[in-house]
Amino acid sequence: MKILRLILGDQLNLEHSWFNEVDDSTTYLMAELRQETDYVKHHIQKVVAFFISMRNFAKELEKKGHKVIYLKIGDPENPQDLEKLITMYMEHSGAEKFEYQLPDEYRLDSQLQSICPILGVETESYDTEHFYTTRHELKDFFKGKQQLIMESFYRMMRKKHDILMVNGQPKGSKWNFDQSNRKKWKGTPRIPQEKMFGVDVSAVAQQIRSSGVETFGNLDEANFNWPVSRKDCLLMVHYFCEHLLKYFGDYQDAMHTDEKFLFHSRLSFAMNSKMLSPKEVVNQVLEYYDHHSHEIHISQIEGFIRQIIGWREYMRGIYWKEMPSYRDHNKLGNYNKLPDFYWTGHTKMNCLKQAIQQSLDTAYAHHIQRLMVTGNFALLTQTHPDEVDQWYLGIYIDAVEWVEITNTRGMSQFADGGLVATKPYVSSANYINKMSNYCTDCHYSPKQKTGEQGCPFNALYWNFLDEKKEYFVNNPRMSMMLNLLEKKDKPELRDLKQRARDIIQNPGKY
């Protein structure tokens, strides 16, 4: 029986069981589609990274002897649409069966479910064999429980997969070392130069431009510095263990003008494209720790593993539990436009300037920059979550919807009303000043609330609490801040709200 198997751009798992044996009757179909480049405006580095990784993946399959049909973005026979692609090559190949791996985006999952019945042949779907959990494992775990709590899910994952466990108890006598993972980096310990790859991507960049794909952001075409092959991804894990893991946990929340990446692994694109599996990353980190436990504290390891088996798997589970209604949530009723400087970095607020410019330059920012700088400001200015979603989904190299929308609309913007986060992650300038050096050279003072030098985050923070207080009156985690709001001097609150209104109405002048 002739079989046509579809591989999507984020299904680059060379270890998948599909590829264990070479079968001349099976053909693999891959394509760079305008459907995927155009549904949201993407960072140029994101499009480049996916296309080159896909091409490298297809070459590896061919080296193993598999039959591959691969269409580049500019190929004249490329239909640029998934339905047209599949129907065309089912006919061309004479395939009697169509197979695909389950997509991780609801949009593509729905599209494939609508395509399969019109093919007129047998169809079958397979697991991607990537995640620790199945699509609906989180839904089943929380069935009958009143509240979704990531920590309980994380502990279940640790026990189930025997990760950092000793005789049924957490290694180090604590489940979570988050309180130890909040140090400000002040220049020491020394941060090694990031792992360099230096790939020349000028050819693919030119193909993207000549095909009419609209992108944004910056790109050094002669020195692309992301892993785009299985080999480079494995080197990235090794580099992280050897050079960065020792201090990862301590400084995972820190931000600094001189260091874009600090001790972060930069493995998210490698994992979200499935060139690396979370299991092999966790296993390599644990193996390295076993041999270096005398010099690496468990808090560094736990902080990293929590992000993978806890937060990453948790967000995917929330996504499949709550979609498609999740993408429409706007529980706080926010409708403002995202400020234009999110696309340029042109603002006097140094924290936003640094985080946005870094994102434009590298297609990357770590979780605290996303949550407590760009996300914090978007929420405090009461921006429509649709606009925030589109920006985050487009700008970051690791952004695919299953992980982006739950972090953005849920964790960052509280648009789901508290399904993901137990409280909104908003703060005044104090938090940013505590965790970074951004405030040192800023036009504004983090200690001043109003006036020309008053940091916009301060006025926006108190205005947000006052504007949205009815949403949080029964939230125990917000009671302390609401009590402080209630005690606020009325003329001072009036001045704060007036300044906040001006910032919201005229963000470009700030």
What residues does each domain of the chain span?
3-126, 137-191+244-322, 328-509
C-alpha to C-alpha distance for 249 and 337, rounded to whole angstroms: 35
Q: What is the pLDDT of residue 350?
A: 98
CA–CA dist 210, 439 (Å, integer): 42
Average pLDDT over residues 493-501: 96
Enumerate the β-bridge partners of residue 123.
98
What single string gives the DSSP state of each residue in 276-312? S-HHHHHHHHHHHHHHHTTTS-HHHHHHHHIIIIIII
167 pLDDT band, cuts 50/70/90, is very high
Q: How high is the mean pLDDT of the chain?
A: 96
Rounded Cα distance, 138 and 507, in Å: 40
Residue 260 near residue 358, CB atoms below 8 Å? yes
Residue 80 pLDDT > 90 = yes
Decide yes or no: CATH 3.40.50.620 for domain 3-126: yes
Question: Looking at the predicted structure, is the pLDDT value of residue 211 above 90?
Answer: yes
pLDDT of residue 305: 96
Cα 143 to chain centroid, rounded: 26
Q: What is the mean pLDDT of residues 345-354?
A: 97
Q: pLDDT confidence of 225, banded at 50, 70, 90?
A: very high
Question: Residue 49 — pLDDT band, cuts 50, 70, 90?
Answer: very high
Q: Does domain 137-191+244-322 have CATH number 3.30.565.10?
A: no
d(CA 320, CA 317): 5
Beta strands in 25-64 (DSSP E): 26-31, 42-43
Check: CB of residue 181 under 8 Å from CB of residue 263: no
Nearest CA-CA partner of 488 in 508, 463, 468, 457: 463
What percent of the chain is predicted at pLDDT more than 90?
Answer: 96
User: Peptide bond preceding 324: is omega within 30 degrees of 0, i.e. cis?
Assistant: yes
Which 3 state secondary structure label does DSSP give 74? coil
Q: Report whether pLDDT(331) > 90.
A: yes
**Range list of β-strands (E), 317-465:** none
Q: How far apart are CA 386 and CA 388, in angstroms?
A: 5
Chain centroid offset of residue 145 CA: 27
How far is the C-alpha of 462 from the C-alpha of 444, rounded, in Å?
Answer: 17
> Has residue 447 got a pLDDT over 90?
yes
pLDDT attached to residue 503:
97
Is the pLDDT confidence value at 206 over 90?
A: yes
**0.85 surpassed by pTM:** yes
pLDDT, one tens digit per residue, over 232-263 is 999 999 999 999 999 999 999 999 999 999 99
pLDDT at 194: 87
pLDDT for 104 equals 97
Mean pLDDT of 184-205: 93
* Total residues found in the chain within this entry: 510
Give mean pLDDT, residues 30-36: 98
Query: What pLDDT, on a 0 to 100 scale, did the predictor assign at position 181?
Result: 79
Paired tokens of 57: 């993946």
What's the pLDDT at 341?
Answer: 97
For residue range 367-391, what is the model confidence (pLDDT) as tens digits?
A: 999 999 999 999 999 999 999 999 9
Q: What is the mean pLDDT of residues 32-55?
A: 98
Rounded percentage of the chain residues whose pLDDT exceeds 70: 100
Helix (H, G, I), strand (E, B) or coil at 122: strand
How many angstroms separate the CA atoms of 13 and 429, rounded? Answer: 42
Give the class (CATH, top level) of 328-509.
mainly alpha
**One-letter identity of residue 310:** G
Is 147 a residue whose pLDDT tops 90?
no
